[in-house]
Amino acid sequence: MDDSVWELYKPELHRLYIQQNKILSYVREYMASMYGFDETTAQYTKHFRKWGFQKNQKLSEQEGIFIGKRMDKRKREFEKKSEVHINGIEYAPRKLQKAIYGKAYVPTMQSHGFPGAPSPDTPEGIVVCTPATPSMQLDWNLALPWLRFSKLLRTEQTEVSSPAQQPSPTSTLAVASPREPNAISHTVKYQVVDRLRYLVPWDRLSHPIGVNSSSRTATGLRILMPEESEGQLHALAMRFSESKQSTTDSLGLEMFLLSNNLVSHGPDGKTFDSMRSHDKRVMEILRVSGWNTVAQLQILLSAKEPTAGAIAEKIFASALRILDEDVVEMMLEAGMSPDGCIDTVDNGSLTPLQFLATLGGIYTELIEVFISRGADLNKSYNDISALEYAVDFDNTVVIEVLLSRGARVTPSCLAAAARNIQDLSRFQRFLGPDTDVNERSGWQGPSPLAQAVSSGSIEIINLLLTRGADVNAFHEIDFNHDVGFTTVLGIAVQSGKLEIIEALLHACPDVNPEIEDGLPYVSPLAIAASTAKGWPGAVTLLLQAGVDISIADGCSERTLLELASRNTKNIGVFELLVGYGAMIDRPLSEKEHATSALLSAVKAGATELVSLLISMGARLNDVYSTPPGTALGAAIEKGDLDLIQMLQVAGAVSISPKLRRITNLETAEYLDEIGLLQGILDISGAEILKAALLAKDNNLAQRLLYRIVEFNTLGAEATDYNGRISQKTPLQTAITTKRLPVAYTILERGATVVDCDLAVAVQYTVKYNDTELLRRLLTRFQGSAPTAMAEAILSDRPDLLQLLLAAGLDATGQPQKFRCQSEVSEDSDIYFDPPESVLEILSQSNNRPMLETILHSCPWSPSLVGRALTLSIISSHIELATYLLSWHVDVNQEITIYHPEVEDEDGKPIPGYKIVVTPLQIAVRDQHVHVVEQMLGTHPAIDINYLGAGENRRTALQHAVENGNMELVNLLLHHGANINSTPARDGGATALQIASIRGYLGIARRLIELGAEINAAPARVNGRTALEGAAEHGRIDMIQMLLLGGASVTGDDGQRQYRRAIEFAERNGHNAAARLLISFEPRQEEMGPDSGDGVDGIKSADWGC
């Protein structure tokens, strides 16, 4: 077989032969059965020898010398021990000691080498890793749920020394002994480090591919898990690293993660694929554990241990999601609650009936099983009933089953039925004799009538009207890109269906509802005027029905005629509206309005409508806030000579500096004939010349060039077509359009060269490799030119940067080209304010030589260097950050990060937000340990507890905890970080609250030992106490540790957090966590200040599910 095919299978062969330590015959059989890869023993031996696949390798003397030097060096530099991996397998420390200090012993001086000597090449297959995060020495309460439950997994029980260590009497939960010794070990081992990385996001602590670091694994486990005795988790990590873990090891790890809801879905978060992979793993755990029988499941469900209950919940959810009907029915028979929680990718937490209702009628039998087991037809975790889900997913069979069994029709369910069901007889099944058809789910929930109108079912509309449905019920709509409220009649007008409008008008005695003060009401008449659907019929019907035209005229930023002018073809509508009293113009005011009916008609080129409006007395010389500023200006920009003449004859004379262009030479000549051209050019000449150059109209440009007096004055509010301020001068436009003769003429006529002109010249030089233009402009310029410098930097042209500096230009000042940092940054997920100096551009372009050149060219303020420092860290340009820290830098300089609005998977907007940060916060957040060390070590004035402004913001310590980085936690605490810093107002959390929410049990234990306040108040908005956060996320062991550690459940604050914790747990389907909390039902007379660790306040609970 070709060597390229062998190379494809190399990673799998390495996994089996080296990492799993399988014998060659097993590897051959496995590869043949799994992949059809059937090769001879000789071929295997040949390729293994070629790749250096050797088992039980011994280090050579040279390799021992190399490793000794490398470990000694890292011990000196980092004060940490290192570990060694050979071909991806960690070399046992005892063997390593022998190899280094036995026959390969090297004296200290020799091992250090001579100063300046190059480092030796690393021997092939050898990797020396230095653990990035130190271990934690913690004292654990042996009454924690996991430490009690883990004893039930052991096939041989050992004696325990105290009642607190005693598990429940049941011992038959011990895992079965599978035929294959490591039944699931290989699955867990090769995913454990990756899964820990997603649970504990050490983004900056990378290891080479194929290397499973025992120290890193041990640290991850210590962050998440408790241990009975010191060294237990380290030993477990070593067994994983050496492929010696037992099935009990693997099951124990998986079950702990399950019981504490520590599910790793990977870098993309929770997806259907990741959820299915998780569910398959859970089913494999159930199979290998030997608990996949009714008898064993009954034991699990009856075990009076919170961990058992949590595991049962997760197994049941996975079985149902993966639709393993046998396991689901076994668990129900064993006593599992039929109303448990099922976590889903797109619908959050659901009951089993809710979940099955989303799947279709093929699972009706399973629905019947749940109902027969007593499932609550109306239970919901999200206020959407199973019946409503069946309606939304058009599951007719499920709808009939649920209705026939007595499922309650909620207001939102009835509204969903009105929206989705077209058949009248089927819809009538949802209406009882006492059903209130006007009841809604919340004030803004859609009414059944509104939903029926939206779906266009006239029969259902008429039925609801006969039942008294309210036509004037208010509903939220999007009108003119803004939120407003209209009646059901307004929704009907949006649809444009006259039959429905007539039916609603017939049933509505008063078409002018009472409007509360402040309600952004949108009249149905305004909707009719603005939409092309159904009018003029809809407008006529509404006016004849008596809709108040004055209210309609004032309910929007635009008048009725302005709204109607979107469709200028039906003149009769304008006549009709004016006949009923619609405003032709807005009342006069000092404020400039954005538009008018006349301006809209001119822009549309609607000559007949313009004539009509003039005849009705429309004002001709109003000035508007948007280009071109006046009606006459709009006609000029359109190049319509008839309209220009019509307006001029009628008395239009007003021209605004917002005028942007003259369409063609013919229009310019006509304006010159009637004596308007020079006046126009005097106020907007630069903009108009720019437009001519961009349009490549050379004749018009030449005609205008010698009539313009001022080339540097742009229109007062000139904007481009994207609504951004346009700063290009005619000179810049001539250069960008490669019309150098025009550019030179503009210079000869006295145009002043500005910074942005130089920037455009730099662009031209880069594109055409011609410096003549740039050099000519430089002779006419003095002063600061940061924009030109920025162009040279972004073009990566150090020669042009030197040319600018050699001409005496100053690099300081704010580059004017950029509206925001997104024009500089490659990161589209965030953006910043416009750069305040070229240092910020350099910090993101990662150009050290240019940065040094600029920094040495002139003095820089510490604040500007500080901003550059922050941006370099955000961009992960750590070498630049280290260099900038050597300058006089303000390490407390703030910078704002903007997170733009995005859409979720359903296309719904997620609002954007902003945060204000310092360099230290970013360095800690992104886990740049050495940068943090440098800042803390060399800048004593650093504000280590800075919080900043914005949502979800964190102090440096809170960031370190969120990343599970104990090295940074310890470093920050050593330098005085406040362990109890107040959380941000919105979405903030203390360090302990973050650890509790994330499930970082070890970090939480450490923080408590160091004085973290267990009962610290939560953020005022979207905040949780430590206990509430742990309960909300199903962290079983965290809940008990907090309760035993003093989490308050008495007094006003304690009772509040206690009730909220139970509510959060139940709302998210963590019923075992809720039962654990209930078991601590406070007995206030016993829960005084001297109640020790709180154990006396425990009340036992039944842990059956």
How far is residue 1071's CA from residue 728's CA, in Å, rounded to a whole number? 64
Phi and psi of 406, rounded to 5°? Answer: 95, 20
pLDDT at 73: 66
The confidence band for 13, taking pLDDT boundaries of 50, 70 and 90, is confident
Mean pLDDT of the 371-392 span: 95
Largest CA distance in the chain: 110
Question: Dihedral of CA 98/102/108/111: which sign?
Answer: negative
5: nearest Cα among 47, 33, 34 = 47
Cβ proximity of 529 and 577 under 8 Å: yes
Better pLDDT: 1051 or 7: 1051
Whether the predicted pLDDT of 55 surpasses 90? no
237: nearest Cα among 220, 224, 254 = 220
DSSP state letters, 669-687: HHHHHTT-HHHHHHHHHHH
pLDDT at 198: 74
53: nearest Cα among 4, 95, 16, 25 = 16
Phi and psi of 193, rounded to 5°? Answer: -65, -45
- Report the amino acid identity of residue 633: G
Mean pLDDT of the 1009-1030 span: 96
202: tokens are: 């050490």
Lowest model confidence (mean pLDDT) among 209-223, 1023-1037, 1091-1105:
1091-1105
Mean pLDDT of the 895-912 span: 83
How far is residue 715's CA from residue 709's CA, in Å, rounded to a whole number? 14
- Report the amino acid identity of residue 602: V
143: nearest Cα among 1083, 1105, 1080, 1091 = 1080
Give the model confidence (pLDDT) of 146-186 as tens digits: 999 988 776 444 444 444 444 444 445 665 544 444 445 44
Radius of gyration of the chain (CA): 37
Cβ proximity of 387 and 354 under 8 Å: no
pLDDT at 36: 80
| Other Cβ atoms within 10 Å of 519 Cβ, number | 12
DSSP state letters, 1035-1087: -HHHHHHHHHTT---SHHHHHHHHHHHHHHHHHTT-HHHHHHHHTT---TTT-
900: nearest Cα among 885, 913, 891 = 913
The confidence band for 1094, taking pLDDT boundaries of 50, 70 and 90, is very low
Give the model confidence (pLDDT) of 235-282 as tens digits: 888 888 777 778 888 888 999 999 999 987 766 778 898 899 899 989
Phi and psi of 917, rounded to 5°? Answer: -135, 165
Give the model confidence (pLDDT) of 641-656 as tens digits: 999 999 999 999 999 9
708: tokens are: 């313009």
Better pLDDT: 763 or 829: 763
pTM for the full predicted model: 0.78
Whether the predicted pLDDT of 427 surpasses 70? yes
964: nearest Cα among 129, 81, 133 = 133
Mean pLDDT of the 557-567 span: 88
Contacts for 772 with CB less than 8 Å, ≥ 6 apart: none
For a pLDDT cut of 70, what percent of the chain falls above it? 82
pLDDT at 534: 55
Whether the predicted pLDDT of 411 surpasses 80? yes
| DSSP strands (E only) in 900-1035 | 902-903, 909-910, 913-917
| DSSP strands (E only) in 447-548 | 475-479, 482-486
Cβ proximity of 892 and 883 under 8 Å: no
Better pLDDT: 619 or 482: 619
Alpha helices in 36-107, H assignment, sequence order: 41-51, 61-78, 93-101
Cβ proximity of 1068 and 1034 under 8 Å: yes
306: nearest Cα among 1068, 1066, 1069, 1076 = 1076
894: tokens are: 């703030």
CA 955 to chain centre: 20
How far is residue 976's CA from residue 957's CA, in Å, rounded to a whole number? 10
The confidence band for 837, taking pLDDT boundaries of 50, 70 and 90, is very high
Cβ proximity of 140 and 225 under 8 Å: no
Angle formed at CA 210 by CA 207 and CA 216, multiple of 5 degrees = 40
How much of the chain is helix, strand and coil, in % rounded to 5?
Answer: 50, 5, 45
The confidence band for 139, taking pLDDT boundaries of 50, 70 and 90, is confident
Whether the predicted pLDDT of 54 surpasses 90? no
Cβ proximity of 88 and 14 under 8 Å: yes
CA quadruple 417, 421, 424, 426: dihedral, nearest 10: -80
Whether the predicted pLDDT of 113 surpasses 50? no
Angle formed at CA 114 by CA 109 and CA 119, multiple of 5 degrees = 105
- Tally the C-alpha atoms within 13 A of residue 1071's C-alpha that lie toward its C-beta: 25
The strand pairing partners of 810, in sequence order, are 784
Whether the predicted pLDDT of 72 surpasses 80? no
Per-residue CA distances from 203 to 198, 237, 960 (Å) = 9, 20, 12
How far is residue 598's CA from residue 1016's CA, in Å, rounded to a whole number? 62
How far is residue 372's CA from residue 370's CA, in Å, rounded to a whole number? 5
How far is residue 422's CA from residue 578's CA, in Å, rounded to a whole number? 40
- Tally the C-alpha atoms within 13 A of residue 74's C-alpha that lie toward its C-beta: 15
DSSP state letters, 725-767: BP---HHHHHHHTT-HHHHHHHHHTTPPP-HHHHHHHHHHHHH
882: tokens are: 């280290």
Tracing tokens 């209130």 back to the chain, one arrives at 436
Tracing tokens 């907090």 back to the chain, one arrives at 1042
Map 596-642 to HEC letters: CHHHHHHHHCCHHHHHHHHHCCCCCCCCCCCCCCCHHHHHHHHCCHH
Contacts for 383 with CB less than 8 Å, ≥ 6 apart: 412, 441
Tracing tokens 């609250």 back to the chain, one arrives at 993
Better pLDDT: 64 or 777: 777
Whether the predicted pLDDT of 1017 surpasses 70? yes
Better pLDDT: 117 or 381: 381
Cβ proximity of 526 and 551 under 8 Å: no
The confidence band for 1086, taking pLDDT boundaries of 50, 70 and 90, is very low
Peptide bond into 628 cis (omega under 30): yes
Contacts for 1101 with CB less than 8 Å, ≥ 6 apart: 304, 1075, 1076, 1078, 1079
Cβ proximity of 9 and 23 under 8 Å: no
The confidence band for 406, taking pLDDT boundaries of 50, 70 and 90, is very high
DSSP code, position 821: G
491: nearest Cα among 528, 442, 546, 440 = 528
How far is residue 472's CA from residue 1041's CA, in Å, rounded to a whole number? 55
Mean pLDDT of the 968-980 span: 95
Strands 83-86 vs 89-90: parallel, antiparallel or unpaired: antiparallel
1002: nearest Cα among 225, 295, 329, 193 = 225
